[in-house]
A and B are shown apart, each in its own frame.
Chain A
């Protein structure tokens, strides 16, 4: 009989575990390194520097407009590698499943991980599954780690390499992912047209690397949004970053929902956007490469790096006034009125 529900036995290491691995994972993620089923995946040697990253994913609901936890997990790790200018070469995926989860939900998520990993061209070479009793986890948690290869000719971009005079480029609209998930979770009836921007950014970054010789920093502005990412960079590089409000594209639905809830879209998470900070001399070439890419068609120069005050981010508002752009304090909470 084919199982339709995750049982504790699926995590116990016996026949049921083997069945789960075969039925759900091996059939989808098939590749030579994984199929050997060793305790570790053995990879071919990597030339030069490599990047290594890990990220855990918990999202409620598991499925949202524009994606699901599986797509999010692969994209998140791929994008972290991409931000280091690293071509993803292998991923691992560890699942914590709640007893009682339906197989078809797990299969949909794994299908979606497979589809996006395939699109990027990165194999999932190692994995693990644990099952916890009902109530001990919320349906499914996924941890994806990844290694990537940094081309020998590239000085790895880093958040402490930004210098005064650099320009700040952004690959598109902000706030889409966070508001899509919030709208879905809270059943906000007025914002049904918001779609997560969840997407793998390696090919966009690849296109940038082809034209740029010296990228100072790349970062995908996820939790905490654009504001948090810029503040981290300003602080690590000890510079001031000044951003132009009117240059930051925001989808209409996102802007309306943020206005109504009193949320700053610059504090909202993105899952398919890249901040690219380059010397001014490189900016035109990089911008046009980004704009030619389907995931970067709305790219723009959103700001400039100054030397002081160190560690601060300013926003030039539409009125032409200057204000601080701060990191959000914690969870984003809608206001009362």
Chain B
């Protein structure tokens, strides 16, 4: 109880509406010319929509949502693969909750569960490991999706499984890395971004130094931001000030959580188990060195060994779907002709609608 009291006081300070309005006024006074800032992280997208932050910004400051929703950028063929694994005899699928409704090419985990697949929702990969421990006669496959924030816990589960000799725990690895995706966006000539609002949770692991190369090569300012309205508004003001003064640096608004070096033991844990490889981002295509795969010494945990099918490439996607352009911030959800008509949170056609964190889902839910 005492812990909660402390935390709530803390959170309330960052939801102080008077202060927020003052910062919004400063942004209005200082921002000149049209400015486009990209919030990379899905949790930021949600927070911006939930608190209606767009509507207190001046018209010349636009926020666009980047590719930072891990569920949204998971390619459909990978969901298909996970579903295939669930059809194997004596197999339990373990997944984070928001993957359940995401459509693969012809089905979703929600539908497969209704048809008899043993699908369990877990909050942590360690819960999946526990399922494997108490079900020694079953194969337990965990769908490892997510960015640097979620990877350490998955790595830990694998290290633990290795140490305890748990032989029925496997992962289907779809992990992705944020800085390479930001670099791809920053250097894409189609995109004109004036600043990145960098993900607070991911940065807590990788450290703010991870964005220094992006700033150096692209000249786009970066500010690491927390998730309360005040954090986000303050980060926008910091970006505005960098642009106005023609500066391009990595600044850390979220210093109460994020350091320059990040979580060194966490990073060590990641690279003990995983190595960097190319990865496909739904809607963006293959980005070099933007994903993780198991190191050869941990290959026995790779669930792909049970897949008889060759890894299928992404099919061409839904005709008319603008998610690629939306993930790049070139178009807004409202500019897609499927948005809110054929494509809704109940029947998502494109990646940005599938998770509540996706740019289209957030737009649909809070701003239509």
Q: Is B71 an interface residue (CB 8 A)?
A: yes
Q: Is B306 an interface residue (CB 8 A)?
A: no
Task: Contacts A336-B146, A337-B201 given; indicate if A324 touches B355 (C-beta within 8 A).
Answer: no
Proximity bits, B88-123, A CB within 8 Å = 1, else 0: 000000001111110000000000000000000101
Proximity bits, A317-331, B CB within 8 Å = 1, else 0: 111111110100111
Q: Is B194 an interface residue (CB 8 A)?
A: no
Contact check, A318 vs B56: say whether CB atoms are below 8 A apart. Answer: no
Q: Which residues of B contact A223 (CB under 8 A)?
A: none
A253 vs B4: C-alpha distance when bound (angstroms): 6
Q: Which residues of B contact A252 (CB under 8 A)?
A: 4-5, 8
Q: Which of B15-23, B156-164, B315-323 contacts A (4 or more CB under 8 A)?
A: B15-23
Q: Which residues of A contact B55 (CB under 8 A)?
A: 321-323
Q: Which residues of A contact B365 (CB under 8 A)?
A: 324, 326
Contact check, A337 vs B17: say whether CB atoms are below 8 A apart. Answer: no
A262 vs B201: C-alpha distance when bound (angstroms): 13
Task: Contacts A256-B8, A319-B53, A323-B52 given; indicate if A333 touches B17 (C-beta within 8 A).
Answer: no
Q: Is A259 an interface residue (CB 8 A)?
A: yes
Contact check, A262 vs B356: say whether CB atoms are below 8 A apart. Answer: yes
Q: Is A130 an interface residue (CB 8 A)?
A: no
Contact check, A333 vs B97: say whether CB atoms are below 8 A apart. Answer: yes
Q: Is B345 an interface residue (CB 8 A)?
A: yes
Q: Is A37 an interface residue (CB 8 A)?
A: no
Q: Which residues of B contact A12 (CB under 8 A)?
A: none
A contact residues, total (Cβ < 8 Å)? 28
Which A290-337 residues sit within 8 Å CB-CB of chain B? 317-324, 326, 329-331, 333-337
Q: Which residues of B contact A320 (CB under 8 A)?
A: 17, 21, 56
Contact check, A333 vs B4: say whether CB atoms are below 8 A apart. Answer: no
Q: Chain B residue with minimal CB distance to A331?
A: B100
Q: Is B297 an interface residue (CB 8 A)?
A: no
Interface range, B side: 35 or more
A324 vs B357: C-alpha distance when bound (angstroms): 16
Contact check, B50 vs A317: say whether CB atoms are below 8 A apart. Answer: yes
Q: Which residues of A contact B147 (CB under 8 A)?
A: 337
Q: Is A111 an interface residue (CB 8 A)?
A: no
Of the listed residues A186, A188, A335, the one surrounded by the most CB atoms of chain B closer than 10 A to its CB is: A335
Q: How far apart are B198's CB and chain A's nearest CB, in angstroms?
A: 14
Which B111-146 residues sit within 8 Å CB-CB of chain A? 121, 123, 145-146
A326 vs B366: C-alpha distance when bound (angstroms): 7
Contact check, B4 vs A193: say whether CB atoms are below 8 A apart. Answer: yes
Contact check, B8 vs A255: say whether CB atoms are below 8 A apart. Answer: yes
Task: Contacts A253-B4, A259-B11 given; indicate if A335 touches B97 (C-beta within 8 A).
Answer: yes
From A255, A256, A318, A334, give the contact of B123 (CB < 8 A).
A334
Proximity bits, B249-285, A CB within 8 Å = 1, else 0: 0000000000000000000000000000000000000
A252 vs B49: C-alpha distance when bound (angstroms): 22
Contact check, A322 vs B52: say whether CB atoms are below 8 A apart. Answer: yes
Q: Is A264 an interface residue (CB 8 A)?
A: yes
Q: Is B229 an interface residue (CB 8 A)?
A: yes
Q: Which residues of A contact B8 (CB under 8 A)?
A: 252, 255-256
Q: Which residues of B contact A324 (CB under 8 A)?
A: 365-368
Contact check, B121 vs A333: say whether CB atoms are below 8 A apart. Answer: yes
A170 vs B364: C-alpha distance when bound (angstroms): 27
Q: Chain A residue with minimal CB distance to B344?
A: A329
Contact check, A262 vs B46: say whether CB atoms are below 8 A apart. Answer: yes
Q: Is B66 an interface residue (CB 8 A)?
A: no
Q: How far apart are A204's CB and chain B's nearest CB, in angstroms?
A: 27
Q: Which residues of A contact B203 (CB under 8 A)?
A: none
Q: How far apart are A250's CB and chain B's nearest CB, in angstroms?
A: 10
A334 vs B122: C-alpha distance when bound (angstroms): 9
Contact check, A336 vs B11: say whether CB atoms are below 8 A apart. Answer: no
Q: Which residues of B contact A333 (CB under 8 A)?
A: 97-98, 100-101, 121
Q: How far apart are B345's CB and chain A's nearest CB, in angstroms?
A: 5
Contact check, A319 vs B51: say whether CB atoms are below 8 A apart. Answer: yes
Contact check, A321 vs B52: say whether CB atoms are below 8 A apart. Answer: yes
A334 vs B96: C-alpha distance when bound (angstroms): 8
A324 vs B367: C-alpha distance when bound (angstroms): 6
Q: How far apart are A138's CB and chain B's nearest CB, in angstroms?
A: 15
Q: Is B312 an interface residue (CB 8 A)?
A: no
Contact check, A335 vs B17: say whether CB atoms are below 8 A apart. Answer: no
Contact check, A318 vs B367: say whether CB atoms are below 8 A apart. Answer: no
Q: How far apart are B206's CB and chain A's nearest CB, in angstroms?
A: 13
Q: How far apart are A286's CB and chain B's nearest CB, in angstroms?
A: 28
Q: How far apart are B101's CB and chain A's nearest CB, in angstroms?
A: 7
Q: Chain B residue with minimal CB distance to A334?
A: B97
A337 vs B43: C-alpha distance when bound (angstroms): 8
Contact check, B15 vs A335: say whether CB atoms are below 8 A apart. Answer: no
Contact check, B43 vs A262: say whether CB atoms are below 8 A apart. Answer: yes
A298 vs B56: C-alpha distance when bound (angstroms): 31
A317 vs B56: C-alpha distance when bound (angstroms): 11
Q: Is B325 an interface residue (CB 8 A)?
A: no
Q: How far apart are B323's CB and chain A's nearest CB, in angstroms?
A: 18
Which B49-63 residues sit within 8 Å CB-CB of chain A? 49-53, 55-56
Contact check, B123 vs A335: say whether CB atoms are below 8 A apart. Answer: no
Q: How far apart are B97's CB and chain A's nearest CB, in angstroms?
A: 3
Q: Which residues of A contact B43 (CB under 8 A)?
A: 262, 335, 337
A320 vs B56: C-alpha distance when bound (angstroms): 8
Q: Chain A residue with minimal CB distance to B11?
A: A259
Q: Is B332 an interface residue (CB 8 A)?
A: no
A255 vs B9: C-alpha distance when bound (angstroms): 12
Contact check, A335 vs B98: say whether CB atoms are below 8 A apart. Answer: yes
Q: Which residues of A contact B20 (CB under 8 A)?
A: 319
Contact check, A318 vs B145: say whether CB atoms are below 8 A apart. Answer: no
A147 vs B270: C-alpha distance when bound (angstroms): 60
A326 vs B368: C-alpha distance when bound (angstroms): 10
Contact check, B21 vs A319: say whether CB atoms are below 8 A apart. Answer: yes
Further pairs besides A319-B52, A333-B97, A334-B123: 8, Cβ < 8 Å: A259-B11, A262-B356, A318-B17, A321-B53, A323-B367, A324-B365, A337-B42, A337-B43
Residues of A within 8 A of B (CB): 186, 188, 193, 252-253, 255-256, 259, 261-262, 264, 317-324, 326, 329-331, 333-337
9 contacting pairs across A/B (C-beta < 8 A): A193-B1, A262-B43, A321-B51, A333-B97, A333-B100, A335-B356, A336-B71, A336-B146, A337-B146
The 7 closest A-B pairs by CB, nearest first: A321-B52, A333-B97, A323-B52, A323-B366, A321-B55, A337-B149, A329-B345
